[in-house]
Amino acid sequence: MDQRPPDHITAAPSLAAKPPIVTLDGVSKAYANGTVALRDVNLSIGRAQFVSLLGPSGCGKSTLLRLIAGLGDLTGGRIDWPGSAKASDGTPKRDLGFVFQEPTLMPWANVFDNVYLPLKLGRLSRKQARPRIMDALAMVGLEKFERSYPRELSGGMKMRVSIARALITRPSVLLMDEPFAALDEITRFRLNDDLLRLWAGRDWTVIFVTHSVYESVYLSNRIVVMGARPGRITADLAIDAPYPRSEAFRMIPAYNEYCRMVSAELHATMGEASPE
Amino acid sequence: MSTSAEPVAQRADRRLIALRIALPILVGVVFLGTWQILVTWLQVPKFVLPAPSLIATAFVDDFASLMGSLWFTLTVTVEAFILAVVGGVALAVLFSQSEIVATALFPYAVILQVTPVVSIAPLIIIWVGYDNVRVALLILAWIVAFFPVLSNTTLGLRSTDHNLRNLMQLYGASRWRILTEVQFPSALPYLLAGMKISGGLSLIGAVVAEFVAGSGASTGLAWRIIEAGNRLDIPRMFAALALLSVLGIAIFGVLSAFEYLMLRHWHESAVRREN
Ligand SMILES: Nc1ncnc2c1ncn2[C@@H]1O[C@H](COP(=O)(O)OP(=O)(O)OP(=O)(O)O)[C@@H](O)[C@H]1O
Ligand SMILES: [Mg+2]
């Protein structure tokens, strides 16, 4: 903790104690058209953290997530993966799962083949991959749709296929960009619980972009609030409620307290008075 | 609910297909009938406009030689078309892999495309030699036909969903893998549209080149038309013309069917919308 740069916004001690899996140092990103999407972002994310990125539309959440995944070049600063093995060309070998804000499915391939893609690239045969794919599809409730084409699915179903595809490689870091935004509340709650169960079962990291204060509090043990123009981190909050969390968690006073706190931070970021 | 909706949709479908076949045939029959009646009634001389019945007779009389010519033109067209697709796709892949190669070569592809084939045909025929006219026809038809495949496939390879490409990079896919797994399938609808244009152009190229080659060195349908024209044998000319049209329609039909087969599961152009 003491090795961090002084301007680093530190999370609560219980989280900071975990060894960092990825660190961002003064990360900036300007797009070719001159938009400064991110300015001087410092962030250190530890193993086994469930981090939510929360912020108004256009504040650079997607940009940040893509940069962490190594998609697109930084305009300034650096991103390090301290513990990761290096590939032969020196770039860190990260096993990431990524859920894009759009479903990003191959329209010419059915659901099964879309989920199979990462394993296919890993040279696993279709037959070997089958049980894993069916498990992943069952988890998102789509086991009956393995032969359907993306155009035959609803927006939410497409998103669930995309989630199944991200989980299929059992990544150690899962990056998700508003994965549940298109879903109804019941499915959303169910997938929230499924995600938490998966996360609890293994020592992995989730970085989760969302617009929903409630969702971020329910899921994460850390919430990073971002502000817009230019995109930057304005608050870094720990949610110190124990796991496993379930529906009952939504009923306890602490949950409401956290929601109020996060909501106040978000309003402060957006330059408005808190509604209370 | 769906059980009753399905047969209705299928029945409507079948009726639509029947209509699509019957309607053009009906138009054709009415057209030919009117033609026959008018020509007989107005006593139009047969070297100006022969009656359909005369054309049919000419077709039967010259069946063997016309079929030989049809076969010649067909094979030249198909070979040029296959070479155009292979060459166009190969060039497009090359262009997509290297911006430098694309920038350097694309203008020349355009030049080749915009130069009228009639104007370079004599040159090519002289270079290849009069005893090799078939090869010259092949080259000329190829020049006319390859560009739509090249430009469409290039566009298709470029318009792959950006996130899909990112996803492939994320999983460490090689360029070749990205090309085969996502770029090529995304480009397929574009390629197929290019092939439909290219199929017609191959035929046009083969025929135009044969016209330029003139002489009796080649024996395609174009030569039959020239020959009949020289002898003022107009019914025979019409018979050859009709064969050319049928060939053109057949090429278009086969390529359209192929396109539908390839895209029916997923592409907007081939999928029947239900809303
Ligand atoms: N490819 C691009 N080219 C230019 N500007 C871009 C590009 N992508 C994003 N931006 C700009 O960068 C800023 C941040 O965009 P980003 O997509 O990261 O926002 P976001 O926080 O994910 O928003 P949302 O919650 O609406 O998804 C925006 O102002 C946007 O206009
Ligand atoms: Mg976004």
What is the C-alpha separation between B228 and B254, in angstroms, rounded? 30
B182 falls within a domain: yes
What is the C-alpha separation between B225 and B206, in angstroms, rounded? 14
Average pLDDT over residues B158-186: 91
Question: What's the pTM?
Answer: 0.83
User: Tens digit of pLDDT for each residue in B235-245?
Assistant: 999 999 999 99
Q: Which residue of A has its CA nearest to B180?
A: A121
What is the C-alpha separation between B57 and A206, in angstroms, rounded? 80
What is the C-alpha separation between B192 and B187, in angstroms, rounded? 9
Contacts of B171 in chain A (CB under 8 A): 117-118, 121-122, 169
Instruction: Please report, rounded to a whole number, the percentage of residues in chain B having pLDDT higher than 70.
Output: 94
Q: Which long-range contacts (CB under 8 A, 24 or more apart) does B127-133 make?
A: B130/B215, B130/B217, B131/B217, B133/B210, B133/B213, B133/B217, B133/B218
Of B161, B163, B171, the CB nearest to A118: B171
Contacts of B267 in chain A (CB under 8 A): 107-108
Residue B2: is its pLDDT beyond 70?
no
What is the C-alpha separation between B245 and A144, in angstroms, rounded? 49
**CB-CB contact of B144 with B202 (8 Å):** yes
> Is B199 or B8 the better-scoring residue by pLDDT?
B199
B274 falls within a domain: no
B87 falls within a domain: yes
Token look-up 């608050």 returns A235
Contacts of B166 in chain A (CB under 8 A): 66, 71, 98, 100
Q: How far is A109 from chain B (nearest CA, A)?
A: 8
Q: Which residue of B has its CA nearest to A113?
A: B181
Q: Are residues B241 and B218 part of one domain?
A: yes
User: Tens digit of pLDDT for each residue in B48-58?
Assistant: 889 999 999 99
- Per the structure block, which two tokens stand in for B16? 């639509």
Of B167, B177, B266, the CB nearest to A98: B167
Q: Mark yes or no for CB contact A106/B168 under 8 Å.
A: no
What is the C-alpha separation between B53 and B62, in angstroms, rounded? 14
**Residue nearest (by alpha carbon) to ligand 1 atom 26:** A57
Q: Which residue of A has its CA nearest to B160?
A: A106
The DSSP result for B163-198, as a single string, is: HHHHHHHHTT--HHHHIIIIIHHHHHHHHHHHHHHH
What is the C-alpha separation between A55 and A233, in angstroms, rounded? 9
Q: How far is A200 from chain B (nearest CA, A)?
A: 24
- Residue B198: how many CB atoms within 10 A of its CB? 28
Boundaries of every domain in chain A = 1-95+173-271, 103-171
> Pairing relation of β-strands A205-210 and A50-54?
parallel
Token look-up 């033609």 returns B35
Q: Are residues B138 and B192 part of one domain?
A: yes
Average pLDDT over residues A29-49: 89
State the maximum Cα–Cα separation within chain B, in Å, rounded to a whole number.
77
Check residue B271 and give its pLDDT.
73
Q: Which residue of A has its CA nearest to B274?
A: A152
A vs B: CB pairs below 8 A: 50
Check residue A133 and give its pLDDT.
93
| Those residues with Cβ within 8 angstroms of residue B265's Cβ, 6 or more apart along the chain or in another chain | A108, A110, A149, B271
Check residue B211 and give its pLDDT.
86
DSSP, collapsed to helix, strand or coil, labels residue B117 as helix
Of B170, B172, B173, the CB nearest to A69: B170
Q: How far is B146 from chain A (nearest CA, A)?
A: 26
Q: Are residues B25 and B104 part of one domain?
A: no
- How would you class A74 by CB atoms within 10 Å of its CB: exposed for 0-12, middle for 13-18, buried for 19 or more? middle
Of A106, A118, A149, the CB nearest to B185: A106
Residue type, B192: L
Q: Return the CATH number at B257.
A: 1.10.3720.10
Residue ranges making up the domain that contains B242: 52-263
Q: Are residues B56 and B39 part of one domain?
A: no
Q: Are residues B60 and B128 part of one domain?
A: yes
**Residue nearest (by alpha carbon) to ligand 1 atom 31:** A58
- Per the prediction, chain A carries an average pLDDT of 84
B181 falls within a domain: yes
Chain B touched by A90 (CB under 8 Å): no
Q: Are residues B257 and B199 part of one domain?
A: yes
Q: Are residues B213 and B257 part of one domain?
A: yes
User: Tens digit of pLDDT for each residue in B128-164?
Assistant: 887 888 898 899 999 999 999 999 999 999 989 999 9
Mutate to test the interface with B, among A88, A111, A121 (most CBs of B within 10 A): A121
User: What is the pLDDT confidence band of residue B268, given thresholds at 50, 70 and 90?
Assistant: confident
What is the C-alpha separation between B68 and A166, in angstroms, rounded? 59
Residue A2: is its pLDDT beyond 60?
no
Average pLDDT over residues B216-235: 85
Domain count, chain B: 2
What is the C-alpha separation between A161 and A140, in angstroms, rounded? 7
Q: What is the DSSP letter of B232?
A: T
Q: A112, A113, A119, A81: which is closest to A97 by C-alpha?
A: A119
Question: Per CB distance under 8 Å, which residues of B are interface residues toward A?
Answer: 161, 163-164, 166-173, 177, 181-182, 185-186, 188, 265-267, 271
Average pLDDT over residues B218-234: 87
DSSP, collapsed to helix, strand or coil, labels residue B133 as helix
**CB-CB contact of A22 with A68 (8 Å):** yes
| Those residues with Cβ within 8 angstroms of residue A120's Cβ, 6 or more apart along the chain or in another chain | A126, A129, B181
Q: Mark yes or no for CB contact B169/A71 under 8 Å.
A: yes
Residue B234: is its pLDDT beyond 80?
yes
B214 falls within a domain: yes
Token look-up 């617009």 returns A211
What class, spelled out in words, does domain A1-95+173-271 have in CATH? alpha beta
B269 falls within a domain: no
What is the C-alpha separation between A41 and A236, in angstroms, rounded? 12
Q: What sign for the dihedral angle of Cα B259, B264, B266, B267?
A: positive
The count of C-alpha atoms lying within 13 angstroms of the C-alpha of B196, restricted to the half-sphere facing its C-beta, is: 15
Q: What is the DSSP letter of B50?
A: -
Average pLDDT over residues A203-214: 90
Q: Are residues B101 and B38 part of one domain?
A: no
Instruction: Please report, rounded to a whole number, the percentage of residues in chain A having pLDDT higher than 70.
Output: 87
Q: Are residues B235 and B252 part of one domain?
A: yes
**Residue nearest (by alpha carbon) to ligand 1 atom 22:** A62
User: What is the pLDDT confidence band of residue A130, given thresholds at 50, 70 and 90?
Assistant: very high
Q: B48, B22, B49, B18: which is closest to B34 by C-alpha?
A: B49
Peptide bond into A244 cis (omega under 30): yes
CA triplet B186, A157, A206: central angle to 5 degrees?
90
Average pLDDT over residues A201-228: 89
- Per the structure block, which two tokens stand in for B57? 């007779």
Q: B161, B176, B155: which is closest to B88 by C-alpha?
A: B155
Q: Are residues B58 and B38 part of one domain?
A: no
CA triplet A62, A70, B168: central angle to 5 degrees?
95
Q: Are residues B81 and B13 part of one domain?
A: no
Q: Are residues B98 and B29 part of one domain?
A: no
Q: How far is A218 from chain B (nearest CA, A)?
A: 28
> Is A276 or A157 the better-scoring residue by pLDDT?
A157
The DSSP result for chain A, as a single string, is: -TTS-TT-----HHHHTSPEEEEEEEEEEE-TTS-EEEEEEEEEEETT-EEEEE--TTSSHHHHHHHHTT-S--SEEEEE-TTPPBPTTSSB---EEEE-SS----TTS-HHHHHHHHHHHTT--HHHHHHHHHHHHHHTT-GGGTT--GGGS-HHHHHHHHHHHHHTT--SEEEEESTTTTS-HHHHHHHHHHHHHHHHHTT-EEEEEES-HHHHHHH-SEEEEEETTTBEEEEEEE--PPSS--GGGGGSHHHHHHHHHHHHHHHHHTT-----
| Those residues with Cβ within 8 angstroms of residue A2's Cβ, 6 or more apart along the chain or in another chain | none
**CB-CB contact of B226 with B208 (8 Å):** no
What is the C-alpha separation between A255 and A241, in angstroms, rounded? 8
Average pLDDT over residues A111-129: 91
User: What is the pLDDT confidence band of residue B273, given thresholds at 50, 70 and 90?
Assistant: low
Q: A39, A40, A46, A30: which is closest to A8 by C-alpha?
A: A40
- How would you class A161 by CB atoms within 10 Å of its CB: exposed for 0-12, middle for 13-18, buried for 19 or more? buried
